[in-house]
Amino acid sequence: MDRTPVYFGVRLALIGLAYAGAWAVFVLVGDSWWQLATAVAMAAVFGQVGLVSHELAHRQILRRRGPSEFVGRIVGNLGIGLGYGWWQDKHTRHHANPNHEELDPDVQPELLVWSQDQARAARGLPAFLGRWQAFLFYPLLTLEGINLHVGSVRALFRSSTRHRLLEGALLGAHFVLYLAAVLTVLEPLQALAFVAVHQGLFGVYLGCIFAPNHKGMPTLKRGEKLDFLRKQVLTSRNVRGGWFTDIALGGLNYQIEHHLFPSMPGPHLRRAQPIVRGYCERIGVPYHETGFVRSHVEALAHMHAAGAPLRERRRR
């Protein structure tokens, strides 16, 4: 549980250099279709910045709440156009009740359905998309970056959102600077293509970071009571991999350990894993870990099975 100032100092410096470097390359390349390659690289950088926001929200980097939130708003709102306060509130509710169909905002049937019960009750767009949602999942992820921007702006109009003026000012600054840079350097058609590739791949990258963690694992309903350990372990999936996986997924491939110890710095999660896994084995709690590709296969298979009642409804 000890802080890792050297690790995070190096990590934040490298990500900061990558962020500045990506924009410098964008300016140097100028009016060219090669900017689509820059958009791909920038999507990866934005994803890593998003992971820094996540680490700040869990106070893995800074111990105190005030400094963590201040830096989080700079990194999230100004850096990538993600409303830090809105996302932190949403993510905190997810951690409190992961995969709970009534309480976890990440498994609400707003666009897709995550269980057959949700499918049977679905109407409108979730009912329309849910039939073939496993095949639509990755194409829909290309819209996730835009969806996060929209959710961040919508939160500014809710009285429950804290520091709305600051959040709004930083978000506005991000959008103005981003669009000004793109429209100044690129021709209109190139600018449109750049934004589509950048924001689309940014959404896909975030989806590939977070979706394997819980999708396809058991969901909970009102009235089902589990102790803290089982609630966190049974609904989470770990993803095996080496150093590249640890970097690309920001340590969230150790999702079980992260949910049990949210404030544990990312580099320590792999050290905690054998302790947690061994304890779960001793007390008979299933501990699920699989490879990256297999984690997506399991998630997609679950999504397809969840949509079965909608396909049956259509055949009647």
Q: Dump pLDDT digits (tens) for 116-131.
A: 999 999 999 999 999 9
Percent of the chain scoring above 90 in pLDDT: 92
Name the residue range of residue 283's domain: 5-315
pLDDT of 315 higher than 90: no
Count up the domains in the chain and report the number.
1
pLDDT at 160: 87
Question: pLDDT digit string (tens) for 272-311?
Answer: 999 999 999 999 999 999 999 999 999 999 999 999 999 9
pLDDT of 223 higher than 90: no
How far apart are the C-alpha atoms of 135 and 147, rounded to whole Å? 19
Q: Are 282 and 116 in contact (CB under 8 A)?
A: no
Question: pLDDT digit string (tens) for 241-268?
Answer: 899 999 999 999 999 999 999 999 999 9
pLDDT of 314 higher than 90: no
pLDDT at 123: 93
How far apart are the C-alpha atoms of 38 and 83, rounded to whole Å? 24
Query: For the residues 174-181, what does the mean pLDDT come to?
Result: 97
Query: For the residues 76-98, what does the mean pLDDT come to?
Result: 95
Query: For the residues 144-148, what does the mean pLDDT come to?
Result: 95
How far apart are the C-alpha atoms of 73 and 242, rounded to whole Å? 31
Global confidence as pTM = 0.93
Q: Provide the 8-state DSSP code for 75.
A: I
Percent of the chain scoring above 70 in pLDDT: 100
pLDDT at 233: 97
How far apart are the C-alpha atoms of 96 and 237, rounded to whole Å? 16
pLDDT at 316: 63
Q: Provide the 8-state DSSP code for 100.
A: B
Query: For the residues 72-77, what does the mean pLDDT come to?
Result: 96
Query: For the residues 52-66, what does the mean pLDDT come to?
Result: 94
- Least confident span in 143-147, 162-166, 198-202, 222-226: 222-226
**Confidence band of 43 (pLDDT split at 50, 70, 90):** very high
**Confidence band of 13 (pLDDT split at 50, 70, 90):** very high
How far apart are the C-alpha atoms of 213 and 203, rounded to whole Å? 16
Q: How distant, in Å, are the alpha carbons of 71, 191, 248, 316 from that of 262?
A: 18, 39, 19, 46
